[in-house]
Amino acid sequence: MLNDTQATHALIEFPASGRDREVSHGMRVIAPESGWRKIDCGPDADITISRWDDSRAISSHEATTPADRYFVAIALKTARVKLSRDRQIIFDGTMPAGTLYVSAPSKLLGVQFQSPCAFLHFHIATDHFPAALPATEGLNDLVLLRDPLAAELAKALTEQGDSADQQFAHCIGETLAMHLTRLELPRAKVNALPKWRLRRVEQYVSDHFDRCISLSELANVAGLSRMHFAAQFRAATGYRPREYLLNYRVEHAKSLLTTTERPLAEIALAVGFSTQAHFSTVFKRISGQSPARWRMASRTARPAAEALPRRRAAADMDWTVGAAA
């Protein structure tokens, strides 16, 4: 059980697809929740999937997992979250997209969201988690940062949106349950890098990301050996040190792609890549698009986003004028 891991600078999100925005008149496979984890699972449904979206900066909730269910959540975008049970903090930090956490049957779980959030919630019958399996004992309060399979399952389901059928969604839920029952949980708990050490490393990366930074260099900044630093850094952020550095560079590159006309080769050098080819390879692996395509897509999206407030303002003005008349 990872109960004190902290994550920062999570850079992967699952954008809503066009299908997500279409409202089906039939039965929705992914039911929107009226309140956190408030959904009617139904006596015959062994797997039910719902979605919790909340745009508020801060919100708090509590819920008890039904006696015949496991509750599994997958973050769809970065969120600051604090999980607690009986005044004991289970998790307090930033959950990257793809983070998975589990609550066992009949357990009361409290949560405080400290940012807008979006989660897929799976309510899975206990029949899918045989008690004889060793992994089942460690599932309660399990938090896995950036679980790759969970991230892919969530992506497959959200991309289908309301067009997904019940059989497809049920298969996703079964695959997730099978994945959880076959997890090899860590035998020894690794402590997360203390916050004050983490802040020093983050600041060092922020100041020097445009040049080569070695693992030894970051370990020295944290005041630890390379082995202990790498393990504690991953427990604290969900990233290996090099992954964190590459993601940081890509995010800075996105800012330059959006706000400047600088050529790709120049941007690659500015964010610490030695060649444009390496920059493009890493950028596409992390973002799913080449830098050129990402720049084009972001510029296409910006006019529409900027025009929306203007249209709303114009509509408000029309309404005001009409009311005055």
Q: What pLDDT is recorded for position 43? A: 60
| Candidate from 33-42, 280-289, 300-309 with smallest mean pLDDT | 300-309
- Tens digits of per-residue pLDDT, 244-276? 999 899 999 999 999 999 999 999 999 999 999
CB–CB of 93/5 below 8 Å?
A: yes
Tokens 């819920």 found at: 63
d(CA 67, CA 71): 11
Query: What's the rounded mean pLDDT across residues 281-308?
Result: 80
Q: Using CB atoms within 10 A of its CB, is residue 37 exposed (0-12), middle (13-18) or buried (19+)?
A: buried
CB–CB of 52/60 below 8 Å?
A: no
Q: What pLDDT is recorded for position 237? A: 80
| Candidate from 51-65, 77-91, 114-128 with smallest mean pLDDT | 77-91
d(CA 35, CA 50): 11
Give the global pTM. Answer: 0.62
Q: Can you list the domains of the chain with their CATH numbers?
A: 18-181 (2.60.120.10), 195-295 (1.10.10.60)
Place 5 in a pLDDT band, splitting at 50, 70 and 90.
very low
User: Cα Rg for the chain, rounded, in angstroms?
Assistant: 22
CB–CB of 74/99 below 8 Å?
A: yes
Q: Cβ–Cβ contacts within 10 Å for residue 65, how many?
A: 20
**What is the Cα 279 distance to its own chain's centre?**
24
Element (H, E) at 93: strand 88-95
- Tens digits of per-residue pLDDT, 89-136? 888 877 888 889 999 999 999 999 998 999 999 999 999 887 656 556
d(CA 261, CA 292): 11
